[in-house]
């Protein structure tokens, strides 16, 4: 297994790229100019490229493949969708504003045909986000602070970058997803099942069976 740099070397690239992540998410979610889906995919791709650039000696281990990853990624995507399906009804009872905020998340679907959005989610957005957040950020945090702190800290930061959208339900959703996929990555130590899970969940919840 390829060894990682020392403690400071582990965290420096993460600390350099996190402000970029916040800036890109601000431009994507808070600045109305431009196509939302194009901006989102470009932002995630920039972060993924940075993560891979700083992980030159680790790329092979990031994408280790086992046959179980195929069904594990698929089943976990369905499980996560089920969690959100149940949470959708619960949030409507707990938060009077939930329905309006969830509806606003889907407003951007009109900017591109559904099949184009689906392709972007499957082949760009899902893989790019996982490469950066779990293959790079969580991996470094976990080696520096331990697995539990690495998972929790990454999920928290992933949720916080979505604050720029000023949407509480999106913030909660990002936190749940970050924790779910963070645990999956930590368990498997491979991005393959996490990318499958993320990409399929995106496709299901935004294109095939939206919750609003």
Return the DSSP state at 135. Answer: I
What CA–CA distance (Å, rounded) separates 102 from 24? 22
What CA–CA distance (Å, rounded) separates 86 from 84? 5
> pTM for the whole thing?
0.93
pLDDT confidence tier of residue 212, bands split at 50, 70 and 90: confident
Question: Is pLDDT of 8 > 70?
Answer: no
pLDDT confidence tier of residue 11, bands split at 50, 70 and 90: confident
Q: Is 96 exposed, middle or buried (0-12, 13-18, 19+ CB in 10 A)?
A: exposed
Whole-number pLDDT of residue 2 = 47
Contact 27, 161 (CB under 8 A): no
* Mean pLDDT score of the chain: 93
Whole-number pLDDT of residue 56 = 84
What CA–CA distance (Å, rounded) separates 10 from 96? 43
- For 111-137, how does the pLDDT look when each residue is reduced to its tens digit (9 = 90+)? 999 999 999 999 999 999 999 999 999
Contact 80, 204 (CB under 8 A): no
pLDDT (average), residues 166-190: 97
Whole-number pLDDT of residue 1 = 42
Question: Is pLDDT of 97 > 50?
Answer: yes
What CA–CA distance (Å, rounded) separates 131 from 194? 9
What CA–CA distance (Å, rounded) separates 78 from 200? 8
Query: How many other β-carbons are positioned within 10 Å of the β-carbon of residue 184?
Result: 23
Whole-number pLDDT of residue 60 = 84
Whole-number pLDDT of residue 5 = 54
Which residues are CB-contacts of 185 (< 8 A; sequence separation ≥ 6)? 130, 134, 135, 138, 191, 194
Q: Where are the domains of the chain?
A: 7-208
Whole-number pLDDT of residue 85 = 96
User: What are the phi and psi torsion angles at 64 (to 5°)?
Assistant: -60, 135
Percent of the chain with pLDDT over 90: 87
Q: Is 207 exposed, middle or buried (0-12, 13-18, 19+ CB in 10 A)?
A: middle
């Amino acid at each position: 297994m390829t060894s990682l740099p020392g403690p400071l070397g582990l965290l420096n690239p993460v600390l350099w790229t996190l402000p970029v992540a916040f800036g890109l998410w601000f431009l994507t979610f808070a600045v109305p100019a431009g196509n939302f889906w194009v901006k989102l995919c470009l932002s995630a791709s920039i972060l993924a490229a940075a993560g891979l650039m700083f992980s030159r000696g680790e790329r092979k281990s990031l994408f280790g493949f086992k046959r179980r990853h195929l069904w594990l990624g698929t089943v976990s995507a369905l499980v996560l969708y089920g969690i959100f399906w149940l949470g959708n009804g619960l949030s409507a009872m707990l938060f009077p504003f939930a329905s309006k905020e969830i509806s606003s998340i889907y407003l951007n679907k009109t900017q591109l045909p559904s099949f184009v959005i689906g392709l972007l989610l499957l082949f760009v957005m899902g893989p790019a986000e996982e490469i950066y957040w779990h293959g790079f950020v969580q991996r470094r945090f976990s080696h520096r602070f331990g697995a539990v702190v690495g998972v929790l800290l990454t999920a928290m930061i992933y949720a916080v970058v979505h604050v720029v959208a000023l949407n509480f339900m999106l913030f909660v959703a990002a936190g749940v997803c970050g924790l779910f996929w963070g645990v999956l990555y930590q368990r498997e130590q491979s991005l393959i099942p996490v990318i499958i899970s993320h990409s399929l969940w995106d496709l299901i919840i935004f294109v095939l069976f939206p919750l609003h």
